[in-house]
Amino acid sequence: MALGAHEAARATGTLLRHGWANDYDQNTVSTYIANISGATTDSVICQDVRSLDFESLPHIDGFAFGFPCNDYSLVGENRGLKGEFGPLFAYGVKVLEHHQPEWFVAENVSGLRSSNGGRDFKRILDAMRGAGRGYKLTPHLYRFEDYGVPQRRHRIIVVGVREDVPVTFRVPAPTHPDRDQWKTASEALSDIPPGAPNHRIIRHPESVVRRLELIDPGENAFNAKRMTDEYRLNVKGATLSQIYKRLHPDRPSYTITGSGGGGTHGYHWAEPRALTNRERARIQTFPDDFEFMGEPGSVRRQVGMAVPPLGAFHIFRALFLSFKGTAYSSIPQNLNQDGSAVGRPQLIDA
């Protein structure tokens, strides 16, 4: 989220300085240091959050974090708070308890809503709301294709403003609310410069190439009309899968993920191959000069786990304008304070 936050700060004339950051993966840390203004090897800590000494870290006025989605994601086993990673949200709450920043932005997958019948999400919201001096929460399920991201990517973002801060955050209105305004995969992947970083093409076995040649744009390995018995994947009941699904040039990409095995890398509509990591980064709205560090598998995970910078930009822009007291177009939040869904959002003109 950091890139989108810094871009929003520049756009709104907000002074935003990097304080510190943490991740357990060294390649992710190296990527952050290489691309985020003010980040250094001292301020970006490569360490398991469970052993991080929060009280020794410098004070912060704002806090952005995403807790691991593995146990809430459809790609995972949906174990919720009972999983290995589900409870890690509590470490974000510890930061709120100790540092009491004026605002925070927290991110997770849409599957968080249904984990344990919605009880996990309610517990998380209650903990965030009651941390430190208390926080006013605005939970919302963002559909990033409605904000110019060339990808159907839906994520829960919770914006919190400390109770004693006289600021009200409102969900920013979509910039591309209609389907005919959505950015397409072909728009996203056009004109990538030859020397762009992370743009290595993967070589596939001949069987994979042949299978992809039998799959039309928008189809996958299970519903491809031209698929032959020789290359068909026989998995009972699998028709809506993203396995070997090829992008459609005239639609947004489906969700780019950071996990999964063979057949889940995202596939070009015109060439029988997986997307390069630069193409995946384009779909996530990273600029071409944002270079990811590490081997290709690590880069793929980093790209797939990120919040699209353009989506983050619109959220942070609204947050910073809220602190400035500047009006902006907004919509009602689509999640209640307990995490349950409310009605379809309607535009409110500032």
**Tell me, what CATH number does 27's domain have?**
3.40.50.150
Query: Would you call 46 a catalytic residue per the annotation?
Result: no
pLDDT at 240 over 70: no
118-122, 211-215, 337-341: the lowest-pLDDT one: 118-122
Look at the chain and report how many structural domains it folds into: 1
pLDDT in tens, 79-103: 444 444 446 788 899 999 999 999 9
As a whole number, mean pLDDT of residues 282-311 equals 98
Selected catalytic residue, list 21, 64, 69, 321: 69
For residue 131, is it within any domain?
Answer: yes
CA–CA dist 240, 172 (Å, integer):
32
For residue 204, is it within any domain?
Answer: no
CA–CA dist 144, 267 (Å, integer):
20
Tokens of 47: 């360490």
CA–CA dist 217, 81 (Å, integer):
38
Give the residue numbers spanning the domain of 313.
Answer: 2-180+307-331
CA–CA dist 279, 274 (Å, integer):
10
For the chain, give the mean pLDDT.
91
Tokens of 88: 């890690």
pLDDT at 289 over 80: yes
59-63, 66-70, 173-177: the lowest-pLDDT one: 66-70
- Give ∠ CA 115-120-121 in degrees, rounded to 5: 90
As a whole number, mean pLDDT of residues 306-333 equals 98
Q: Please report which confidence band the pLDDT of residue 238 belongs to, taking 50, 70 and 90 as the band edges.
A: low
Maximum CA extent, the chain? 65
Q: What is the pLDDT of residue 347?
A: 52
Helix ranges, the chain (H): 2-12, 26-35, 89-99, 119-129, 185-189, 206-213, 277-283, 296-305, 309-324
For residue 23, is it within any domain?
Answer: yes
pLDDT at 344 over 90: no
Q: Please report which confidence band the pLDDT of residue 113 belongs to, taking 50, 70 and 90 as the band edges.
A: confident
CA–CA dist 185, 282 (Å, integer):
9
The CA distances from residue 89 to 61, 104, 108, in Å, are 19, 13, 10
Q: What is the pLDDT of residue 219?
A: 96
pLDDT at 269 over 80: yes
Where does residue 203 rank: exposed (0-12), middle (13-18), buried (19+ CB within 10 A)?
exposed
Which pTM was predicted? 0.92
As a whole number, mean pLDDT of residues 272-284 equals 98
pLDDT at 73 over 60: no
Q: What is the pLDDT of residue 70?
A: 46
Residue that the structure tokens 């936050």 belong to: 5
For residue 214, is it within any domain?
Answer: no
pLDDT at 242 over 50: yes
pLDDT in tens, 191-217: 999 899 999 999 999 999 999 999 999
Q: Are 120 and 82 in contact (CB under 8 A)?
A: no
As a whole number, mean pLDDT of residues 304-333 equals 98
For residue 210, is it within any domain?
Answer: no
In DSSP notation, 329-344 reads -EE--SB-TTS-B-S-
For residue 245, is it within any domain?
Answer: no
pLDDT at 117 over 60: yes
- 3-class DSSP state for residue 154? strand
pLDDT at 298 over 80: yes
For residue 236, is it within any domain?
Answer: no
For residue 345, is it within any domain?
Answer: no
As a whole number, mean pLDDT of residues 270-286 equals 98
Greater confidence, 65 or 80? 65
pLDDT in tens, 299-318: 999 999 999 999 999 999 99
As a whole number, mean pLDDT of residues 125-149 equals 97
Q: What is the pLDDT of residue 118?
A: 84
Tokens of 106: 């927290």
